[in-house]
Amino acid sequence: MKTWASDQGLEPQSQTIDRDAGEGPPRCCGRRLVAADALVCYDELAPERLVAVLERLPHLKGVTPLYLCDACGDLIIREAVVTREDRALDFGLGQDVVDKARDLDRKTARVSTSPS
Partner 1 sequence: MAADPSGAVTDADVKLVPTVGVLEGGTIQQIYRHREEITVQGPDTDGDVPVTFAQTYQNVPMIVFKGGQYVSFSGSLGNGAGIKQRLRLQVLDPTASGFKSRTQIANPGAMTPQSDDFVGGALNGNDGAPGVGNTREADLNPGGANDDTYTAHFTVFVEAHSAIGAHFATLVIAIDTNDGLGGPWIERATRSYNVGNTSPGTHNQTWSGEAVGVTVSGLGLNDDVRIRIKSFSVSGQSPDGNYTVTPLSPGVTYTTAADTVESAIPSAGDSVTWVAQEVS
Closest to partner 1 by CB, 50 vs 70, is 70
For residue 3, state whether it binds partner 1 (rule: CB under 8 A): yes
Number of alpha carbons in the 13 Å side-chain half-sphere of residue 18: 2
For residue 109, state whether it binds partner 1 (rule: CB under 8 A): yes
Which range, of 6-14, 45-53, 58-66, touches partner 1 by CB under 8 A?
Answer: 6-14
Distance CA 97, CA 84 (A): 9
Among residue numbers 14 through 53, which ones bind partner 1 (CB under 8 A)? 14-16, 29-33, 35-38, 40
Give min distance, CB of 42 to partner 1, in A.
Answer: 11
Contact indicator for 70, 35 with CB cutoff of 8 Å: yes
CA distances to 12, 46, 49, 107 from 81, in Å: 31, 13, 8, 11
For residue 106, state whether it binds partner 1 (rule: CB under 8 A): yes
Helix (H/G/I), strand (E/B), else coil: 97: helix
Distance CA 46, CA 114 (A): 34
Q: Which chain residues interact with partner 1 by CB under 8 A?
A: 1, 3, 6, 12-16, 29-33, 35-38, 40, 69-75, 78-79, 84, 88, 91, 93, 97, 100-101, 103-104, 106-116
